[in-house]
Amino acid sequence: MPATITCDVAIVGGGLAGGLIALALKHKRPHCDVRLIEAGRAIGGNHLWSFFASDVAAADRWLVAPLISHSWAAYDVAFPAHGRTIAAPYHSIESSRLDAVVRAALPEDAVLLRRKVLAASNRAVVFADGDRIEAGGVIDCRGVGDLSTLECGWQKFYGRELALREAHGLERPVIMDATVDQSDGYRFVYTLPFGPARAFVEDTYYSDTPGVNVAMLGERIDDYVAAQGWHVDKVAREEAGSLPVAMGGDFEAYWQSGGNRVAKAGTRAGLFHPLTSYSLPDAVRTAALVAEARDLSGAALHELLHGFARNTWRQRRFYRMLAKMLFRAAEPAERYRVLERFYRLSPELIGRFYAGKSTLFDQMRTLSGKPPVPIGRAVSALTRNSK
């Protein structure tokens, strides 16, 4: 006999956005009866989420503080004609930590793992096995919606956490080493030093197509590691991804593709940075917003989160335009010049850019001076219709 569970708020999808909303509700609304439903065997899947301290408002730091696995006071970038250390704190969250913190914070019966959801409306959730949840409100956090409603390029990557035979000598993350071969599009290696002989090394590139060739990226990591003079003892963990870089698109169509009239959060709500594809800053803001909401009914949550996601989308036109410049105006081998130039700007401006909070002055500063790509192509890329 299928079972029916009742609760105040059902969160569908126990990834980054769903996990953070569950934690925020537990902290701010301890009497709210929450269910967090995840198809996988753990909350958060297999991820490493990194962010700059300036991505998270001081008022929201309590939410991410217990999740941080690694922290550094500064980071490096390297380009063919420019390298720099930027004094801005940087943090990483391991998904295993999110899983442990969520499970410790929520009652055992509030976290439903290995439960695949077939359908969600704004007050009900139906599981693949026929069970259902009837909730005061539902928030769908099942990851990306229909990306064909957006005009996308792709940020593709494959990373390995390496136990090395000897100390790597890095003091801080190298978040972009773009001195590597650039022939297929903007490419960089991202290295996080986790311990004296432990490092996470990821090969990333911006591409016109979504497929990830893990074998090729693995060879690139091998070459990079060898060029540093490091020797690998063991690969402790791997991760790969292909994330949308949004140049334009129809926000309402995207929202509806994830389910009409259902509240959504995370990438399902289009809440990611158009150029970096990172969603952590928005996921923290969304969780804080939900936890402060006066009304947690399905209709009110839909109103709140639809409004938040729509306004965020509108405010991000500048980043979509930059993404378009990166993909449409520059030849693949020259795309790095857009970023090389950007990384000469002030650390504060760079911080606001990653947080998705660039001011009008920042936008003018980013675009002023000689364009790093041919002006004719830049103008034609930018004047093509985009939302």
**DSSP string for 89-119:** -EEEEEHHHHHHHHHHHS-GGGEE-S--EEE
Is position 47 an interface residue for ligand FAD (rule: CB under 6 A)? Answer: yes
**Whole-number minimum distance, CB 377 to ligand FAD, in Å?**
29
Closest to ligand FAD by CB, 264 or 302: 264
Binding mask 262-281 for ligand FAD (x = CB under 6 A): ----xxx--------xxxx-
Is position 50 an interface residue for ligand FAD (rule: CB under 6 A)? Answer: yes
Among 21, 24, 39, 245, binds ligand FAD (CB under 6 A): 39
Residues 6+ apart with CB under 8 A from 293: 300, 301, 304
Among 10, 102, 117, 330, binds ligand FAD (CB under 6 A): 117
In contact, 7 and 33? CB cutoff 8 Å: yes
| Total binding residues toward ligand FAD, as defined by CB under 6 A | 31
**Whole-number minimum distance, CB 385 to ligand FAD, in Å?**
27
Closest to ligand FAD by CB, 206 or 278: 278
Which of positions 143-162 make contact with ligand FAD (CB under 6 A)? 143
**Whole-number minimum distance, CB 92 to ligand FAD, in Å?**
7
Is position 89 an interface residue for ligand FAD (rule: CB under 6 A)? Answer: no
* Helix 317-324 and helix 375-383, axial crossing angle in degrees, nearest 10: 130
Is position 185 an interface residue for ligand FAD (rule: CB under 6 A)? Answer: no
For residues 300-333, b (16+ Cβ closer than 10 Å) or e, as one string? bbbebbbebbeebbeebebbbbbbbbbbbbbebe
Closest to ligand FAD by CB, 210 or 371: 210
Which of positions 205-264 make contact with ligand FAD (CB under 6 A)? 239, 241, 243
Is position 38 an interface residue for ligand FAD (rule: CB under 6 A)? Answer: yes
| Chain Cα centroid distance, residue 102 | 19
In contact, 105 and 20? CB cutoff 8 Å: no
In contact, 267 and 16? CB cutoff 8 Å: no
Q: How many CB atoms lie within 10 A of CB 103?
A: 16
Closest to ligand FAD by CB, 175 or 381: 175
Closest to ligand FAD by CB, 16 or 225: 16
Separation between Cα atoms, residue 370 and residue 31, nearest integer Å: 57
Among 26, 142, 285, 328, binds ligand FAD (CB under 6 A): 142
* Helix 280-292 and helix 16-28, axial crossing angle in degrees, nearest 10: 30
| Chain Cα centroid distance, residue 163 | 26
Closest to ligand FAD by CB, 190 or 230: 190
Helices (H), ranges, the chain: 16-28, 61-64, 95-105, 214-227, 251-257, 280-292, 298-315, 317-324, 336-342, 347-354, 360-367, 375-383
Closest chain position to ligand FAD (CB): 15
In contact, 241 and 157? CB cutoff 8 Å: yes
Is position 37 an interface residue for ligand FAD (rule: CB under 6 A)? Answer: yes
Binding mask 51-80 for ligand FAD (x = CB under 6 A): x-----------------------------
**Whole-number minimum distance, CB 220 to ligand FAD, in Å?**
17
Could you list the residues that contact ligand FAD (CB under 6 A)? 13-18, 37-40, 45, 47-51, 116-117, 141-143, 239, 241, 243, 266-268, 277-280
